[in-house]
């Protein structure tokens, strides 16, 4: 019996696809899609806890934190030094997202001349517009970083291989990139957000002017801090009054230029303060003439990217006990932050200043009949009140926005069909406070 053997002569041929993404970004469709991917990150900054909420307003003069537990946001609101490191997800996310985007943006800027313009998908004019938007976005992310971290790693070249090391550059180098990119964006982007057929949510020359004015202002501030009055400020090494005055003037001139240019582009003040926050006026279905730049949270985008803006929920207090249950209309009740007296005191002339009535919800209606007792602080004293609602739709909670006397509270109760809970600023105590920012002012109780 004979035995024969054979061997396979084919060899495994390895194909290197490491340039696949770069090759795609050089195509007409790929260039635009890469830019859109950077815009998508705006949603995490302007609509989620880790962005604008945790890293800006929390811990300022406008709010007080009610978070009893030690979490990543409460630590930031207290300016806990341990919160601003890689152990805290939110500063880390701001940093890592920015640098992930920088590499994409650096490619779009560095290789813009190599994009295929031979098809109808991308004209030279559209490519230049996208290039301007890429420069705006790179400047925008660097501006966020220098405001939060000071000295940062400045990179303007596309990285083809991962890097495990980085040099921390002087923040003034980042400002150089910010200024030049924004100046280029002013020249390359479309002039304003209301150009015919322009997609809402894209940066324009007006957007770039606005951010450039802000950047000039912060750059001036950096040079305006002397060691005597600001001994613990790390920026005192840049102290230079003449530079400070020069850039204060640049900020002023840029802001004036923006205002003058904006009106010619259809940008102007809305007729009322409330109309600024009315979703019916939001693009693309409506028109809010005060919008210079929009981080889009449309329904169709939610279906693609998932999730919705959650910023409003962090100000919602514990209304559910008195209303009857948590509702979609009133929102999820985190109750993490309350406006402090400084914020409420800013609205003193409420008969002519419409900002308070256009911003804060004052009335909550019941979802079912309920009753109980509650101890509230009135004129510094604890007072027990009975409360009850007899049917769905009854007024359950009322926040007048100012401290009422016991006589005023009793009078309001006596002329009402049910005993609703009245919360005044001296009673605000975190989750027990049912006060949150609302787009449409609620009516007064009847």
- In tens, the pLDDT along 253-295 reads 999 999 999 988 989 999 999 999 887 887 767 788 998 998 8
First to last CA, the chain: 106
What values do phi and psi take at 360, rounded to 5?
-100, 135
Out of 19-28, 176-185, 312-321, 344-353, the most confident range is 176-185
Tell me if 386 sits within 8 A of 380, measured CB to CB. no
Q: Is 408 exposed, middle or buried (0-12, 13-18, 19+ CB in 10 A)?
A: middle
Question: Which positions ≥6 away from 74 have C-beta within 8 Å?
Answer: 65, 67, 336
- With 70 as the cut, is the pLDDT of residue 329 above it? yes
Greatest distance between any 2 Cα atoms in the chain: 114
Question: What SS3 state is found at 152?
Answer: strand
Does residue 373 register a pLDDT over 90?
A: no
Q: Could you tell me if 169 and 154 are in contact, meaning their C-beta atoms sit under 8 angstroms apart?
A: yes
Mean pLDDT of 374-403: 87
What backbone phi and psi angles, to 5 degrees, belong to 227? -70, -25
Q: Tens digit of pLDDT for each residue in 226-248?
A: 888 888 777 889 999 999 999 99
Residue 386 and residue 373 in contact, taking contact as beta carbons nearer than 8 Å: yes
Q: Is the backbone of residue 226 left (phi > 0), alpha (psi -120 to 50) or beta?
A: beta
**pLDDT above 90 (res 10):** no
Give yes or no for residue 13 having a pLDDT over 70: no
Secondary structure (3-state) at 377: strand
The rounded distance, in Å, linking the Cα atoms of 106 and 153 is 14
All residues at 6 or more sequence positions from 366 whose CB lies less than 8 Å from its CB, including other chains: 322, 323, 324, 389, 391, 392, 393, 394, 395, 396
Rounded to an integer, the average pLDDT of 358-367 is: 88
pTM: 0.84
Conformation bin of residue 150: beta by default, left when phi > 0, alpha when psi is -120 to 50: left
């Amino acid at each position: 019996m004979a035995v024969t053997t054979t061997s396979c002569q084919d060899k495994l041929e390895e194909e290197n696809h490491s340039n696949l993404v770069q090759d795609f970004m050089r195509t007409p469709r790929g260039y635009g899609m890469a830019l859109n991917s950077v815009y998508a990150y705006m949603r995490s900054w302007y609509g989620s806890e880790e962005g604008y909420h945790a890293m800006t307003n929390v811990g300022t003069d406008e709010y007080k934190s009610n978070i009893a537990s030690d979490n990543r946001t409460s630590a930031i609101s207290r300016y806990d030094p341990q919160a601003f490191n890689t152990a805290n997800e939110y500063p880390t996310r701001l940093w890592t997202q920015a640098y992930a985007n920088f590499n994409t943006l650096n490619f779009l800027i560095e290789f813009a001349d190599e994009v295929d313009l031979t098809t109808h998908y991308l004209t030279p004019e559209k490519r230049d517009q996208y290039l301007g938007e890429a420069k705006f976005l790179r400047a925008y992310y660097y501006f966020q970083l220098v405001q939060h971290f000071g000295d940062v790693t400045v990179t303007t070249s596309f990285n083809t291989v991962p890097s495990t090391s980085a040099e921390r550059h002087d923040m003034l180098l980042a400002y150089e990139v910010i200024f030049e990119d924004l100046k280029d964006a002013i020249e390359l982007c479309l002039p304003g957000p209301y150009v015919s057929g322009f997609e809402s949510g894209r940066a324009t020359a007006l957007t770039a002017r606005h951010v450039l004015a802000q950047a000039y202002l912060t750059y001036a501030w950096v040079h305006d801090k002397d060691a005597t009055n600001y001994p613990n400020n790390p920026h005192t090494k840049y102290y230079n009054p003449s530079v400070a005055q020069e850039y204060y003037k640049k900020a002023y001139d840029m802001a004036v230029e923006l205002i003058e240019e904006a009106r010619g582009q259809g940008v102007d003040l809305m007729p009322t303060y409330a109309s600024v926050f009315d979703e019916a006026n939001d693009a693309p279905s409506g028109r809010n003439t005060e919008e210079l730049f929009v981080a889009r949270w449309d329904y169709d985008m939610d279906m693609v990217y998932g999730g919705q803006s959650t910023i409003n929920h962090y100000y919602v207090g514990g209304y559910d006990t008195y209303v009857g249950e948590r509702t979609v209309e009133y929102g999820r009740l985190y109750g993490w932050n309350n406006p402090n007296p400084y914020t409420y005191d800013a609205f003193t002339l409420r008969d002519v200043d419409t900002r308070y009535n256009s911003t804060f919800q004052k009335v909550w209606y019941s979802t079912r009949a309920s009753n109980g007792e509650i101890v509230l602080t009135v004129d510094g004293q604890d007072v027990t009140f009975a409360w009850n609602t007899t049917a769905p739709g009854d007024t359950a909670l009322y926040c007048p926005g100012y401290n009422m006397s016991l006589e005023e509270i009793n009078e309001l109760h006596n002329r009402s069909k049910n005993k609703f809970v009245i919360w005044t600023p001296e009673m605000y105590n975190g989750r027990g406070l049912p006060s949150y920012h609302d787009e449409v002012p609620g009516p007064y109780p009847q």
